[in-house]
Amino acid sequence: MIGDSLLPLKKACYAALTGSSGFMALVTGVFDQEAPVSQAFNYVVIGAGTQLPFNTLGKSGRECTITFDIFTESMLGAADGEAITGSLITTLAQQNLTLSTTPAQTCVYVDLDNYSDRMDDGELPAYHGSARLLFRTQEV
């Protein structure tokens, strides 16, 4: 029986994204839950997640979602946001993520649900894109 998969999955995603030179060339940083107030655009925040049991063939697993919030300046927001989303998916989809859990788990990317909007709080307009990725973990 496995315990929490979500926190180890977030850590594995962070390591994969920050370890990708192609992805990091598009952003100024990757953050957990929120970015510093004065963070320069473009950046990604690893946000809320969910997990449900996903036990198969006598092995424990979890079905997890993680929302990645993508912030860019609104002038080029949609194009930059789509490039970041594409690189994020490529980085996470092209490898099995090994989670630091006991027992060990491996994880694969399954699906994507995304949306975007424009935020204008009176100071600096920004583009906010959101990519919610679905992962399935399995005890190895």
Most trustworthy range by pLDDT among 3-12, 89-98, 105-114, 116-125: 3-12
CATH architecture assignment, domain 6-139: 2-Layer Sandwich (3.30)
**Per-residue pLDDT reduced to its tens digit, 48-70:** 999 998 888 888 888 888 999 99
pTM, whole model, 2 decimals? 0.86
pLDDT of res. 47: 94
pLDDT of res. 111: 64
Amino acid symbol at 75: M
pLDDT of res. 116: 61
In sequence order, what are the residues at sequence separation of 6 or more whose Cβ sits closer than 8 angstroms to the Cβ of residue 60? Answer: 1, 2, 53, 103, 138, 139
Domain boundaries, the chain: 6-139
pLDDT of res. 130: 86
Helical spans, DSSP H, in the chain:
6-18, 21-24, 77-93
